Chain A
Amino acid sequence: MDLFPVWLSLRVSLVATALTVVLGIPVAWFLARRRHVGKEMMAALVVSPLVLPPTVLGYYLLVLIGSRGPLGRLLGRLGIELAFTWRAAVLAACVGSLPLLIRAAQAGFESVDERLEQAARTLGRSESSVFWSVSLPLAWRSVVAGVVLAFCRAFGDFGITLMVAGNIPGRTQTLPLAIYDHVQANAMREANVLALLAVVAVIVLLVGVGRLVRVRY
C-alpha cells in the first residue's frame, strides 16, 4: 500500500500547526488584551471560517489563489505556484485550524490575572518579557489545548484541501483524501488500514509531544 499520504499529511499538518501558532498566538493575545473598538466583531470574524462548508471555503480560496485569482496571479509573477501544490494543502489546513487555536488561546490569555502582568511591569520587565515569562506560562494549558485542536483539524482536513490542493496521488493526496478515495472505490481494507494509521499517528505524536511539554510545565 502506498504510504505517501501518511507522510504528506504529517508534513502538512506539522507545518500548518507551526504556522498557525506563529500567526494565531499574537492575534489571540491582541484580542484578549487590548480594549479596542470592534473587539467582539473581530473575535467573531476570526471564527467565521468555521461556519462555511469546507468545500465552499476551499472554492473561495481557490478563486483567490488559483491561476486566475488576484493573489494567484501576483504569486505567479514572482514564480511561486501555490494552488494544487502541497503548500496549498498547508494553507487549507491553516485556514481550518486558526479559528480553533485563536479561540482557545484567547480564552487562556483572558483568564490571566492582569495584576500579575502589571506586577511584572513594575519590576521593570519589558512587554515581550511579560508575555514570555508571565502571560504565556499562565495561559499555557489553554494554548496547548488550542494547538492540539489545531493540529488535529489540520491533520483531518478534507474539504478545503480537496478544493485548493486537488486530490492528486503522489503530490497532494493527503491521508483523509486517500481514505475517501479508497472508500469510494469500495476498497474498505485499504481505507480501514489508513484510517487506523491516521489515528495511531496522531495519538503517538500527541502523547510524545505531550511528554516533552510536560517536562517543563
Chain B
Amino acid sequence: MRPHWLVPLVLAALVLGTATRVAAADPPTLTVFAAADLAFALRDLAPRFEKAAGVKVALVLGSTGNLARQIEHGAPADVFFAANETFVDELVAKGAVIPQTRTLYAQGRIVLATPKAFGPRLAVLRQLTDPRVRRVAIANPQHAPYGKAAEEALRKLGLWDAVRPKLVYGENIRHTLQFLQTGAADAGIVALSVASVPEIDWVPIDPTLHAPLNQVVAVVRRSRRPELGVAFVQFVNGGEGRQVMKRYGFVLPGEF
C-alpha cells in the first residue's frame, strides 16, 4: 500500500490552475494605505480618481500604527494616509517615506455617539457617568489617534476615572463604530468622518478638549510610481477631493 499519488496531482492541478488567475489579475495599480477613519471618504474618492487618472486604486484600510509598521518593513504601498502626524514623522525619520511629499490633508474631529437602539441620546460627555450607560466604546488610546483624543477629552473634563471602568476598546475607529452599530456599547466616542451611519446619533465634541488630530499623508519611498501618488494627494487636496472630504466630516487645511 503506497500513498495515493492522485492526491498531490489534484492539488498541483488546482494550484497551477489558480496560478494563472492570480497572474492575470495584476494590472498597474496605485496602492493606498489609509487609516480606518478614511474608509468612507476614500471609498468615495478612489473611483473618481480612477476615472480621472486612468489607474486602478487598491485601498488598504487599517490602524495607522499597524500600517506604519508594515511600510517601515517594506510594504508595497504607494501612498500612506495617516490619522496622526506622528506616525508619518516617524517614517520620515526612518527614511521610509519621501519627506518633501509630507502634506497635511485634514484635521479630525471626534463626536459623542449613541446607538439609536439605546434610547436616551447623550448630549454632553458628562452623561457618560450616568449609571444607565454601562459600556462606552472608544478606540484603543495606546495606538489609535481617535482613541487618544477621546482619552484626552475625558481627562480634561475630569471624567476619565469615572468612565474608565465602562470602557471597551476598539482596535481602530471602524471597529469602535461597530460596537455602537451593533448596540454592544451604549455610547462611544468616534470620528466624525465615520459617524454618519443610520444606526447612531451623534453630537460634536469641542475640539479644544484634545490635541489637534492633524492628519498627514506622504508618498512612500519604495513606490515605483511616486508621481501617481503625488497626483492622488493633489486630487484629495484639490477642489473635488476637498468637497468629498468635507462631506465626510473632515476639517480641511485652511479652515481650522
Q: Which residues of A contact B (CB under 8 A)?
A: 4, 7-8, 10-11, 14-15, 17-18, 59, 62-63, 66-69, 72, 83-84, 86, 132-133, 136-137, 163, 166-171, 181, 183-186, 209, 212-213, 215-217
Q: In the complex, which residues 128-162 of chain B have their Cβ closer than 8 Å to any Cβ of chain A?
A: none
B14-35 CB contact bits vs A (8 Å, 1 = yes)? 1100110110011001010000
Q: Quick check: B70 and A132 within 8 Å, CB to CB?
A: no
Which residue of the partner chain, among B4, B19, B175, contacts A212 with CB atoms under 8 Å?
Answer: B4
Q: In the complex, which residues 44-81 of chain B have their Cβ closer than 8 Å to any Cβ of chain A?
A: 56, 58-62, 66, 69-70, 72-76
B177-221 CB contact bits vs A (8 Å, 1 = yes)? 010010000000000000001000000000000000000000000
Q: Quick check: A170 and B25 within 8 Å, CB to CB?
A: yes
Say if the beta carbon of B39 comes within 8 Å of chain A. Answer: yes
Sorted nearest first, the 10 A-B pairs with minimum C-beta distance are A67-B74, A66-B73, A11-B18, A216-B4, A184-B174, A7-B18, A66-B74, A169-B58, A137-B1, A62-B73
Q: Quick check: B31 and A168 within 8 Å, CB to CB?
A: yes
**Most chain A CB neighbours (cut-off 10 Å) among B18, B21, B61:** B18
Report the minimal beta-carbon distance from A171 to chain B, rounded to whole angstroms. Answer: 7
**Known A-B contacts A168-B60, A186-B178, A186-B197; A133 and B73 likewise in contact (beta carbons under 8 Å):** no
Which residue of the partner chain, among B15, B66, B181, contacts A186 with CB atoms under 8 Å?
Answer: B181
Report the minimal beta-carbon distance from A61 to chain B, rounded to whole angstroms. Answer: 10
Bound complex: CA A69 to CA B70 (Å): 12
Report the minimal beta-carbon distance from A11 to chain B, rounded to whole angstroms. Answer: 4
Tell me which residues across on chain A come within 8 A of B73, comparing CB atoms.
62-63, 66-69, 72, 83
**Known A-B contacts A67-B74, A184-B174, A186-B197; A18 and B8 likewise in contact (beta carbons under 8 Å):** yes
Tell me which residues across on chain B come within 8 A of A171, comparing CB atoms.
26, 58
Pairs across A and B, CB under 8 Å, 6 listed: A10-B14, A67-B73, A72-B74, A166-B76, A184-B174, A185-B174
Bound complex: CA A137 to CA B2 (Å): 8
Bound complex: CA A217 to CA B39 (Å): 52
Q: Which residues of B contact A (CB under 8 A)?
A: 1-4, 6-8, 10-11, 14-15, 18-19, 21-22, 25-26, 29, 31, 36, 39, 43, 56, 58-62, 66, 69-70, 72-76, 174-175, 178, 181, 197, 222
Q: Quick check: A212 and B7 within 8 Å, CB to CB?
A: yes
Tell me which residues across on chain B come within 8 A of A17, comparing CB atoms.
11
Tell me which residues across on chain B come within 8 A of A84, comparing CB atoms.
70, 74-76
Q: Quick check: B74 and A68 within 8 Å, CB to CB?
A: yes
Q: Quick check: B60 and A167 within 8 Å, CB to CB?
A: yes
**Known A-B contacts A4-B25, A84-B70, A86-B22; A215 and B14 likewise in contact (beta carbons under 8 Å):** no
**Known A-B contacts A67-B73, A166-B75, A185-B174; A15 and B15 likewise in contact (beta carbons under 8 Å):** yes
Bound complex: CA A162 to CA B248 (Å): 27
Report the minimal beta-carbon distance from B182 to chain A, rounded to whole angstroms. Answer: 9
Q: Quick check: A11 and B181 within 8 Å, CB to CB?
A: no
Tell me which residues across on chain B come within 8 A of A132, comparing CB atoms.
2-3
**Known A-B contacts A84-B70, A168-B60; A185 and B2 likewise in contact (beta carbons under 8 Å):** no
**Known A-B contacts A14-B15, A68-B72, A216-B4; A170 and B29 likewise in contact (beta carbons under 8 Å):** yes
Q: Quick check: B10 and A169 within 8 Å, CB to CB?
A: no
**Known A-B contacts A67-B222, A181-B61; A62 and B69 likewise in contact (beta carbons under 8 Å):** yes
Tell me which residues across on chain A come within 8 A of B21, comparing CB atoms.
4, 7
Q: Quick check: A169 and B60 within 8 Å, CB to CB?
A: yes
Tell me which residues across on chain B come within 8 A of A209, comparing CB atoms.
7, 10
Report the minimal beta-carbon distance from B38 to chain A, rounded to whole angstroms. Answer: 12
